[in-house]
Amino acid sequence: MSDYAGHTPGPWYIHDFRGMGGSYSISCVTPDHITIADIGRGLDNTDEEALANARLIAAAPALLEALIDTLECYNNIDELSDVVWDNARAAIAKARGG
């Protein structure tokens, strides 16, 4: 597992507040509910684009972890495990809304 120094640890989840002002809020699930980012719908993008952006941001901790694990295992390719690839696939799926 990687060191989370420099950013709020995940997992991060999407909270859909469209009915309460029109933006997406992505919050880290912590006791004090730290807000990582507010994703709004700008003049040139759609609700679908705003949601896709929110998904990508929410997946950032998992994507970072999968990349770090992949690089660590790549240093010794004989030790590359299915778990690393499964984590990478899961992080990509989360970023894509799966």
Instruction: Note the pLDDT tens digit of each residue in 2-27.
Output: 454 567 888 888 887 777 666 666 66
**Tens of pLDDT, residues 15-64:** 877 776 666 666 665 656 778 888 877 777 787 888 888 888 888 888 88
Amino acid 34: pLDDT: 76
Residue 2 confidence (pLDDT): 46
For 1, 32, 34, 44, 56, the CA distances from 96, given in Å and listed in that order, are: 23, 27, 23, 21, 7
Residue 91 vs residues 5, 47, 56, 57, 59: alpha-carbon distances, Å: 20, 22, 10, 11, 6
Phi, psi of 22 (to 5 degrees): 90, 10
What pLDDT, on a 0 to 100 scale, did the predictor assign at position 91? 84
Distance from the first to the final alpha carbon of the chain: 23
Q: Which residue reads 């390719």 in tokens?
A: 77
| pLDDT given for residue 28 in this prediction | 60
Which has the higher per-residue pLDDT, 86 or 5?
A: 86
Contacts of 96 (CB under 8 A, 6+ apart): 55
33 by DSSP, 3-state: which?
A: coil
Q: For the full predicted model, state whether its pTM sits above 0.75.
A: no
Mean pLDDT computed over 69-86:
70
